[in-house]
Each structure stands twice: as structure tokens, then as C-alpha cells.
Amino acid sequence: MSVVESVSAVTGGEYPCQRWLQIAYGMAAPEAGEFPRETPDVAVHRSRGHGRHHPQELPGDRARVIDLWRDLALTDAALVTGGLPLICAEWPHGAGLWDFLGEALNDPVSALLVSAERSLAAEFPPQAQARTVLAAIGSGERTFTNIARAAGGIGATPLQRALELLTNKRIVAAELPVSLRPSKDRRYRVTDPYLRFWLHLLGPSMEEIERGRGDLTLARIRESWTSWRGRAIEPLVRESLARILPDDRLPAAPAVGGYWNRTNDVEIDIVGADRAPIAEELIFVGSIKWLEQSPFDRHDLAALHRHRAALTDEPVPVVAVSRNGVDCPGLDAAYGPGDLLTARPL
């Protein structure tokens, strides 16, 4: 049984969890000063009916903003809970993300804290090398060399065995860049959103939480949240695009991945292609910008054009996926939080 299946068993059901929607729509609506910035592109996006629910009893503009706010809250909930039912069930009605985390971190036996710990204990002995390697990947290391260093200088052969075990169990994904040329620049990531969150932000602080200082852990999560979320959202975005295409903006893409080179000076968040990792045809390239206040702007578009030129000479369509809308012309397609949720059955 994989960790994904073990966590599902521990938490009492399958995922994604239908309480994602209850969580988002049970949250108290923000005050006017707390509304996220809605650019004209986002307003158009909302008016086209993307996203699932529109509170009709509210004035049009306020209804769209509250709907957007809930979409944003729901994507954050997905990254933290992974949709695991027992964790979702502990989310208090009307609570936001930070209220939920504050309460969960004050309870050492909350489902958020113990579900991953129990499933990992069932999957691996405490001193298993695979567990150490998984912790290194969960900490944010993605390349073979950096994982080896973070895992205490483990040798190449035992590291390769551990990585094969983790990928065979589908706990870790081993990914190559989607490109017209072959590459050996493999990167590794934890596949399950909740386990990814736990390994990076909760697991290293368990002793502190058990001493009753979950407040310190919460403070560190707040400090690193924006940067961690920016990376963690990428697999969800790619999976969602693969689900919703084709649409009126882009054709279907049999493979949706990313591109990077060995030195990481060229990195493209989204690459749609006819196949992966070695494509015959590139269908689109895109960038993800998932910040609280900043929309996708002309500087982001210019960077995407530069990176596309390193991948192909062809003028393949350019796409933006933004938490806070788009503030520039020149894109072939743009997507927001509501589109990601539309792609996932709730």
C-alpha cells in the first residue's frame, strides 16, 4: 500500500474531499478592505461563468469578489489538506486557513499532524533510508545531488535504490523536462499535496508542537507560506490544465509538464506538448504567478518570451495562470483559481 493509500485509509476515505467546497463556502466573507485585488481580466473571467458558484443574492461586483475570495481560499485548503476527509472534517465552520492551522497546531493529535506520521510509520521503519530520502525531498531538494547532500551524504547506489522505491510506490514523482530534445536533468517531488505540506512545514517541528509551542511553528509557516505555495501549486496547475483542455482558449495537450535546464537559468512552469518528455510538437508554454497582491504583468510576459526562445524558435502560444489576475495584453490564454477548481470534481 502506498503512502497515498495509507493516508486515505488513516483518514477514513478517498480524496479529493467534498468538504473542500464546504470549507470555502463556510468561511466568513471578508470585509471590504480584505477583498483580493480583482483586475479587469479577473472580472471578465468571473463574468464568463468560470468557477462553480455565484451568490446571486449579493450585488454583482461584491458577489464576484466573494466568489473569487472563496476560490482562493479553496486552493489554499487543497494544498494543506490534500482533500483528506478526516483533516477536512476538523476544519471549523467559518474558519480561514490561519485559524484552522492555529487550532490544529495546538492539538498534537489533530488529524493534520498525525495522519502523515502514522502512514509513514506504517510504510517505513524509522531508520529506513527511503524515509530519510523522502524527508530530504520534502524539505525542498529536487535534484539527485542535492537530495544526497540533504540526506546526510548518502551514496549514489543506496540513494538510487531509495528513489526507485519511492517512485514505484508513487510517493515521489521523478520528472524530466518536456522538450524537443532529450535531457537527463531529472527532478523529484512529493506527489501528495498534504504529505508535501507536512514534510516541509510540520514534520520538522513535531517536537516543538508536542511541547505546546505550535505558535512558533505557525509563525514560521506564515513567513515561508508565499514561497512554499508558489512551488507547491505548480503540480495542481498542470494537472488542472490537463483536465480542462481543450477549451475555447487552448487545444488539448496530451502531456502537460514543465521545462528547465541544468543550470536552472531557464525554467518554464508549464509546457503543453503532444507527448513527454521528448516531444515532437510543443502546443503552448506558460508561467504561474501565485502571489497575494501582484497580477501577472508585462515583466512576467517578457520573461516567459525569453524562456520560450531558449526552448523553441516557434511562436507557440503563451499562457498565464495567476492567483491575482492579469495586467497586460499579449497572452493567448489566462486562467485563475476558479478554473483550477472547475477541473477537479467536488
pLDDT digits (tens, 9 = 90+) for 323-337: 999 999 999 999 999
pLDDT digits (tens, 9 = 90+) for 115-133: 999 999 888 876 689 999 9
CB-based contact 270:258 (threshold 8 Å): yes
Q: Which residue in the block uniquely carries the three cell numbers 516541509?
A: 200
Position with higher pLDDT, 123 vs 166: 166
Give φ, ψ of 288 to 5 degrees.
-110, 130
* Residue 67's pLDDT band (cuts 50, 70, 90): low
Smallest CA-to-CA distance from 346 within 12, 9, 22 is with 22
Position with higher pLDDT, 191 vs 59: 191
Show the domains of the chain with their CATH numbers. Answer: 3-103+215-228 (no CATH), 115-212 (1.10.10.10), 244-342 (no CATH)
**Nine-digit cell at 253?**
495537450
Please, what's the b/e burial string for 138-150 (b: 16 or more CB within 10 A of its CB; e: otherwise)? Answer: bbbbbebebbbeb
Residue 41 has pLDDT above 70, yes or no: no
Residue 21 has pLDDT above 80, yes or no: no
Residues above pLDDT 70, as percent of the chain: 79
**Nine-digit cell at 100?**
484552522
Residue 65 has pLDDT above 70, yes or no: no
